[in-house]
Chain A
Amino acid sequence: MKRSTWNMNIQRGTYPVEDRGLRFELAADLSPGVGTSCVWIRGENGLGKTTFLERVVIARLKADGIDYLYVGQDIRTQIYTLRAMLSVRGHHVFGTDEKELFRLWIGQSPTARVLILDEFDKYFQDYRFVFDWSRAFIQTYIVVSHAGHQRMFPSEDRLAVHPVLFTASGYDGGVKRVRILLEQPWSF
């Protein structure tokens, strides 16, 4: 089982990602705490939500030595990788449907503390199964979704939700400035 005193903490400040022409301005510390929580990220298209995940959040997790699972937007390609990786580890994956692949993948990663889903709801209207299979060890869920987080978390689980909003803040010499606002957390 999980539980540690680790707490993801991405400090407020400016995060330039020059090769993508982006500069993130994080308005407050992104620190969801040690309880099970969901960081729900939303914002207009093209504001670098995925870039922020890959270049800031995952960079932080790597620096902290925290294991994580990441399901990217272009999942079709990733599915092949999952299939290959599980096959190498001795799982029977031929003819296995996608939900079962995810179950196997999540199940063989019990040291992960963070699960990142980038617009996973494009593919599954209801993906509470991901939560059910991972809740024993995942501490922080990071979900990018235009639709909301309700498709993943059952209402009976009183999960702390930390809404994060990406907003355009203008251009500065060809660099897009993106302000990242942390809204009031809530439980549901």
Chain B
Amino acid sequence: MAIYDVKQLLDRYDSGYLIVDFNHPFIASTLREEIWLLEHRDDSAMLEGIAQAAAAFQIAPVDKDRDIDTYSGGEKVILACLLMLAVIRARRVGGIKLLLSNVIDSLSENNREILLEKFHQSASDLGLRLFVGGNHSIEEIDLEHEHTARNLSR
């Protein structure tokens, strides 16, 4: 593992992967603006969907106009992942390969499990595949195996 240089990360993987990087989770300063950048319009339904999905995590309630930088590092990447999932779902894009860089280790065990379960749902519906790693190497997370292990441990 290493501190990933985002340029190197993009040079190597941007042709095949959608990347969520811990150090650069958002461009805009609020969730509403970030959705606007991605969807080219205000999308209150998407915003509401993300807020509802975020309620499953042990984080503060989502406010569409709250300054992104006032969320904690872990909260930011949870929101970034939920936003990516919402966009993928809204556009019905199948087979996306999502690469998480320095994201998983920033989450508490509870939040990590909830997030992996969200990814598992999208893997089932839309064929999403999840990868972690960065510049030097990446590996695929077996979402089905992780899902089964979670259910067995309950």
Quick check: is A186 within 8 A (CB to CB) of the other chain?
A: no
Interface size class of A (residues with CB under 8 A): 20 to 34
A146, B1: Cβ atoms under 8 Å?
no
| B42-55 to A contact mask, C-beta < 8 Å, 1/0 | 00000000000000
Report B112 CB to chain A, min CB distance, Å.
8
Summed over the interface, the residue pairs from A and B with CB atoms below 8 Å come to a total of 75
Q: Is the CB of B1 within 8 A of A124?
A: yes
User: Is A46 a contact partner of B106 (Cβ separation < 8 A)?
Assistant: no
Residue of A20, A47, A98, A176 with most chain B CB atoms under a 10 A cut-off: A47
Given the known A-B contacts A45-B57, A45-B75, A76-B6, are A146 and B70 also in contact in the complex, defined by CB atoms under 8 Å?
Answer: no
Partner of A74, one of B71, B73, B78: B73
Of the A-B pairs whose beta carbons lie under 8 Å apart in the complex, a sample of 15, sorted by A's number, is A45-B74, A46-B58, A47-B72, A48-B72, A49-B72, A76-B23, A79-B3, A98-B3, A119-B105, A122-B102, A123-B1, A123-B2, A123-B102, A124-B1, A147-B105
What 10 A-B pairs have minimum CB-CB distances, sorted nearest first? A45-B74, A76-B23, A122-B105, A46-B59, A44-B58, A73-B73, A122-B102, A46-B75, A46-B72, A123-B3
